[in-house]
């Protein structure tokens, strides 16, 4: 898949096996680049975008100049995956419940922060997207 400077970037919980599997699947969507939340460039990006480092799934779309967080990111990803609109709405509306179950199953030990909106991409955050791309997680080895 060809990646360009405007392809979306997904920040996900790299310590969560379920989230990691989902991130790998999402790479097939529009060349989405997946970066684990724990990667070094994520903190400075979040600081530049939010003035804080929320523990949340974040989808950055440089072409649109938008940042989707939490439930809004889940809904946007479901929409881009071609699921019916009602599915995206259900994912958004139940994001906290889903995140709680996934967190319990993965032993995450922390809850996502309450960031669930769509935001304008700030100029300072836009300048850091290249650093995020460089920290993209490698796809897992194929299982034999």
User: What's the domain range around 68?
Assistant: 9-109+118-134
Give domain status of residue 143, yes or no: no
Query: Number of structural domains, the chain?
Result: 1
Nearest to 37 by CA among 135, 111, 134, 130: 135
What average pLDDT does range 18-23 have in this prediction?
57
Looking at the domain assignment, is residue 33 inside a domain?
Answer: yes
100 in any annotated domain: yes
Q: Cα(70)–Cα(55) distance, rounded to whole angstroms?
A: 9
Q: Residue 20's pLDDT is what?
A: 55
Query: Per-residue pLDDT for 96 more than 60?
Result: no
Q: Is residue 36 part of a domain?
A: yes
Let me know if residue 28 belongs to a domain.
yes
DSSP, collapsed to helix, strand or coil, labels residue 3 as coil
Separation between Cα atoms, residue 14 and residue 6, nearest integer Å: 23
pLDDT for residue 3 = 58
* pLDDT-derived band at 56, boundaries 50, 70, 90: confident
Segment 67-78 shows an average pLDDT of: 85
pTM of the model: 0.75
Average pLDDT over residues 54-83: 86
Count of C-beta atoms within a 10 Å radius of residue 60: 28
Nearest to 20 by CA among 141, 144, 110: 141
What percentage of the chain carries pLDDT values higher than 70? 58
Which among 65, 95, 63, 62 is positioned nearest to 78, based on CA atoms?
95
In-domain check, residue 89: yes
In a domain, 144, yes or no: no
Rounded Cα distance between 38 and 3, Å, is 22
């Amino acid at each position: 898949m060809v990646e360009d400077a405007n392809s979306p970037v997904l920040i996900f919980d790299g310590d969560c096996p379920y989230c990691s599997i989902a991130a790998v699947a999402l790479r097939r969507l529009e060349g989405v680049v997946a970066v684990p939340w724990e990667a070094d460039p994520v903190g400075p990006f979040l600081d530049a975008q939010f003035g804080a480092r929320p523990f949340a799934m974040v989808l950055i779309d440089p072409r649109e100049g938008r940042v989707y967080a939490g439930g809004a990111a889940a809904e946007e990803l479901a929409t881009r995956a071609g699921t019916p609109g009602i599915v995206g709405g259900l994912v958004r509306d139940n994001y906290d419940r889903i995140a709680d179950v996934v967190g319990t199953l993965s032993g995450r030990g922390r809850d996502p922060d309450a960031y669930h909106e769509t935001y304008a991409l700030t100029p300072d955050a836009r300048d850091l997207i290249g650093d995020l791309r460089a920290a993209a997680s490698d796809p897992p080895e194929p299982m034999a």
